[in-house]
Amino acid sequence: MQEKNKSVGIIGIGSYVPDKIITNKDLEKIVETSDEWIVDRTGIKERRVVEPNITTSDLAAYAAEKALCDAGVTADDIDLIIVATATPDMLFPSTACLVQDKIKASKAAAFDLSAGCSGFAYGLVVGSQFIQTGLYKKVLVIGAETLSKILDWTDRNTCVLFGDGAGAVVLGEVPAGYGILGVDLGADGSGGELLKIPAGGSRQPATVESVTARQHFLQMSGSDVFKFAIKVMGEAAIKALDNAGLSNEDIDCLIPHQANNRIIQSAAKRLKVPMEKVVVNVDKYGNTSAASIPLAMDEAIKNDKLQNGDIVVLVGFGAGLTWASCVMKWYKEGKSIV
């Protein structure tokens, strides 16, 4: 088991989703698809979409303010802001810097983290290191996406899958034995071509031709990504549990990346976790990439599904290809300790 200098956990959480809802019935009017087809293959019934003038940094700031309030701290208390996103406001400056300004966290360092849908779990692990070593005391980790802005709404294979939203947590020191107990991070860059936006970077700068060819929209080899996810979700969770000195029998709550109901069910089956212990909200929000795990976690807390002392497993996969899992012994100040 990895030695740690301090116990680090989530001391505050908040989330935000846009008001606008696009249902499967709405999508039937845009592309050749059906509500039955989407629900059967993904479990998604609706998703949230931002208005044109709203950016990823806006959603991130809204979620961050809620997390700060929940933690009982102010923006001045934050030492570092990490924003995990695949849809930054722009290539630079970082979305984290824009959030820093919006929430007035003038004392905080800030950077973005790019790990696709694994980004939030990656951010938790990275952020916790700064606290464990004693360099920082409070770290704000945000997963935020406006995926609707990078979707090809003529591609029925991708436009039905994704939605917009943001989730944020404040990391801080928690009592010994609680907080983050074990992690597993990984990547397989050979699968990078399976989930990408081809143009807009140094390989293929934006041109009239690249825009006309719709190369600035998300492209995905769905069947290949599905096979990868089925394999890696259970493996990553098991490795993090091993790192924590625990087993799948210890899991009280599983919070997976909300990409697809079949993938979630497969991970639960691999881990032998009954579905009543699994948090699922993909039906309401679709795949919100880096925002999906904190959105699901915030919902679980609001529904009183997390109790102090519970063993919680977070696990996701994403572009890169990447995967990340994190095992925590849940602790929230103000609740009795089990």
Alpha helices in the chain (DSSP H): 24-28, 35-42, 56-71, 95-103, 119-132, 208-212, 222-243, 261-271, 282-285, 292-302
User: Each residue of 64-119: pLDDT tens digit?
Assistant: 999 999 999 999 999 999 999 999 999 999 999 999 999 999 999 999 999 999 99
Per-residue pLDDT, averaged over 262-290, amounts to 97
What is the predicted pLDDT for the residue at 295? 98
Q: Which residue has the tokens 């059906």?
A: 34
User: Each residue of 18-63: pLDDT tens digit?
Assistant: 999 999 999 999 999 999 999 999 999 999 999 999 999 999 999 9
Is the pLDDT at 337 greater than 90? The verdict is no
Say what percent of the chain tops pLDDT 70.
97
**Nearest to 113, CA basis, from 82, 135, 150, 73:** 82
Instruction: Set out the domains of the chain in order of their start, with CATH numbers.
Output: 8-178 (3.40.47.10), 180-329 (3.40.47.10)
Look up the pTM and report it. Answer: 0.95
What is the predicted pLDDT for the residue at 335? 52
Can you name the residues that pair with 169 across neighbouring β-strands?
13, 141
What is the predicted pLDDT for the residue at 42? 96
User: Each residue of 298-316: pLDDT tens digit?
Assistant: 999 999 999 999 999 999 9
User: Each residue of 210-259: pLDDT tens digit?
Assistant: 999 999 999 999 999 999 999 999 999 999 999 999 999 999 999 999 99
Known catalytic residues are 117, 257, 287
Separation between Cα atoms, residue 37 and residue 190, nearest integer Å = 31
Amino acid at 35: D
Residues 337 and 248 sit within 8 Å (Cβ to Cβ): no
Q: Which residues contact 141 (CB under 8 A, 6 or more apart)?
A: 82, 84, 120, 123, 124, 127, 168, 169, 171
Cα–Cα–Cα angle for 176, 182, 185, rounded to 5 degrees:
145
User: How much is the mean pLDDT over the chain?
Assistant: 95
User: Each residue of 225-238: pLDDT tens digit?
Assistant: 999 999 999 999 99
